[in-house]
Amino acid sequence: MNFDKKLFYLIAILFISCNNNSLLVTDLQGVNESIKEQYAPDKRVVIYDIEVDYDNDKIIVSGETDSKIGYQKLLDSLKSLDINFLNKIRVLPDTVIGNEMYAIGNNSVLNIRSEPKHSAELGTQGLLGMSLKVLDKNGDFFRIQTPDGYISWVDKGGIYRMSKSEFDNWSNSKKIIYTNTNGFVYESIATTNTIISDIALGGILKYISENKNTYEVEYPDKRKGFVKKNEAKVLTEWLKNTTATQESIEKTAKSMLGFPYLWGGTSSKGMDCSGFTKMTYLLNGFIIPRDASQQINTGKIVDNDLNFSDLQKGDLLFFGTKVTKDKKQRVVHVGIWLGNNKMEFIHSSGNVHISSMDENNVLFDKMNKYRYLGSRRYLGVKDKNIIDLKDELEL
């Protein structure tokens, strides 16, 4: 039953039995769940943790959400019923965050966790210079949202918080992007003295100046340093010269061969399967969804017959458990199709390596062939979940 029908049903219930508080709460909970299903179906990208209870002759709605439209729908529903209720919902970000509702990644790699503690599961990673929204605070951890919409927790040491004006200043400033696998930012122009920090592939810093061999750069927290010029490029120039093609996707993917597998990783220090596909597309100028189960719902469906004949280089292949009458489809793995007349694909499993769907190929991957679910094409496809960085930077 959709949200509007549930609300109509609830109004009817009120007319029939306005004194049955148990029934009222149960149906309000149903309306609340319908709102969640409609406006916050994926908890990885939208927060909607709201409960409806009854205490001391009063309906109490409590919890937290960052969905302003979902929140307003719930309030409108309650008000339309003309019932007395107590609103204890936090709409994030709120006063706990104050004016610093933005942040920039301040370490080479940000470890972003499922809960606000260091022992929690690694959900994803961010990179130096990554723009973030700050939604909440718990001890030394902040709940943040990455450019792909992913919401989770990062410790305070990994980010530098900013006001809107400071964030806009950073966003509009000239920057460099680090294009080497890993390296360092140095304190001195000599680049042989003190190291300020390491820096990883895709890291971004503010451009200050340059000479023959180095870029002078600035961190979000105002530290200044120097990056070797042959290891980085001016961001806008890099992006202007970056054209995502089948060949560029293959070249980028193969440049990460041997990178170690890391659950939750999306960096050159370690990456899981969807972190690898995400990083490959990022280095070709696109931000795509974080997880394989999100990536499979993006782009154009290809290879309906599941025989690999309709695939083009750069397509994403998905693997897992197929749908049955009792169970939903479950996506657990993703790779990038290379083809090359060898039915090859490249993926992160143990490490980044090439496998094949051809039984006669020494790289044949029997397990993945028999759990193949289908493919999606991202190249040349317009989709709200495929963000073109050239559009974002108005190039």
Residue 101 and residue 118 in contact, taking contact as beta carbons nearer than 8 Å: no
Q: What is the largest CA-CA distance in the chain?
A: 82
What would the 3-class secondary structure string for the chain be? CCHHHHHHHHHHHHHHCCCCHHHHHHHHHHHHHHHHHHHCCCCCCCCEEEEEEEECCEEEEEEEECCHHHHHHHHHHHHHCCCCEEEEEEECCCCCCCCCCEEEECCCEEEEECCCCCCCCEEEEEECCCEEEEEEEECCEEEEECCCCCEEEEEHHHEEEECHHHHHHHHHCCEEEECCCEEEEECCCCCCCCEEEEEECCCEEEEEEECCCEEEEECCCCCEEEEEHHHEEEHHHHHHCCCCCHHHHHHHHHCCCCCEECCCCEECCEECHHHHHHHHHHCCCEECCCCHHHHCCCCEEECCCCCCCCCCCCCEEEEEECCCCCCCCEEEEEEEEEECCCCEEEEEECEEEEEECCCCCCCECHHHHCCEEEEEECCCCCCCCCEEHHHHCCC
- Report which of 381, 380, 279 is spatially closest to residue 334, judged by C-alpha positions: 279
Q: Among residues 18, 118, 333, 353, which one is catalytic?
A: 333
Residue 58 and residue 85 in contact, taking contact as beta carbons nearer than 8 Å: yes
Q: Give the pLDDT of residue 278.
A: 98
Tell me if 3-91 shares its fold with 246-388.
no
Task: Tell me the C-alpha distance between 67 and 61, whole Å.
Answer: 15
Q: Give the pLDDT of residue 19.
A: 53
The answer on pLDDT for 82 being more than 80 is: no
Q: Give the pLDDT of residue 15.
A: 45
Cβ-based burial of 206 (10 A; exposed 0-12, middle 13-18, buried ≥19): buried
The answer on pLDDT for 5 being more than 60 is: no
Q: What is the pTM of this model?
A: 0.93
Task: Tell me the C-alpha distance between 75 and 68, whole Å.
Answer: 11
Reported as a single tens digit per residue, the pLDDT across 31-79 is 899 999 999 999 999 999 999 998 877 889 999 999 999 999 999 988 8
- Residue with more model confidence, 216 or 18: 216
Q: Give the pLDDT of residue 394.
A: 76
Strands 58-65 and 85-91: parallel
- Which of the residue ranges 53-62, 96-105, 150-159, 325-334 would you say has the lowest mean pLDDT? 53-62
Q: Which CATH number fits domain 173-240: 2.60.40.10, 2.30.30.40, 3.60.150.10, 3.40.50.720?
A: 2.30.30.40
- Which of the residue ranges 23-32, 131-140, 237-246, 279-288 would you say has the lowest mean pLDDT? 23-32
CA distances from 197 to 95, 217, 240, 268 (A): 33, 12, 28, 16
Task: Tell me the C-alpha distance between 330 and 349, whole Å.
Answer: 18
Residue 51 and residue 85 in contact, taking contact as beta carbons nearer than 8 Å: no
Q: Give the pLDDT of residue 2.
A: 61
Q: Give the pLDDT of residue 1.
A: 53
Residue written as token pair 């709409």: 91
Structural domain boundaries of the chain?
3-91, 102-170, 173-240, 246-388
Is 353 a catalytic site residue?
no
Is 273 a catalytic site residue?
yes
Q: Give the pLDDT of residue 16.
A: 45
Average pLDDT, whole number, for the chain? 93
- Which of the residue ranges 29-38, 132-141, 271-280 would you say has the lowest mean pLDDT? 29-38
Is 333 a catalytic site residue?
yes
Q: What is the CATH number of domain 246-388?
A: 3.90.1720.10
The answer on pLDDT for 88 being more than 90 is: yes
The fold of the 3-91 domain, in CATH, is Alpha-Beta Plaits (3.30.70)
> What pLDDT band is residue 20 in, cutting at 50, 70 and 90?
low
Task: Tell me the C-alpha distance between 236 and 257, whole Å.
Answer: 27
Percent with pLDDT over 90 in the chain: 86
Q: Give the pLDDT of residue 81.
A: 78
Q: Give the pLDDT of residue 168.
A: 97
| Paired tokens of 369 | 């062939």
The answer on pLDDT for 343 being more than 70 is: yes
Q: Give the pLDDT of residue 26.
A: 83
- Residue with more model confidence, 186 or 20: 186
Q: Which CATH superfamily is domain 102-170 in?
A: SH3 Domains (2.30.30.40)
Q: Among residues 18, 118, 273, 353, which one is catalytic?
A: 273
Reported as a single tens digit per residue, the pLDDT across 148-200 is 999 999 999 999 999 999 999 999 999 999 999 999 999 998 877 899 999 99
Q: Give the pLDDT of residue 6.
A: 56
> What pLDDT band is residue 84 in, cutting at 50, 70 and 90?
confident
Reported as a single tens digit per residue, the pLDDT across 292-323 is 999 999 999 999 999 999 999 999 999 999 99
The answer on pLDDT for 277 being more than 90 is: yes
> What pLDDT band is residue 90 in, cutting at 50, 70 and 90?
very high
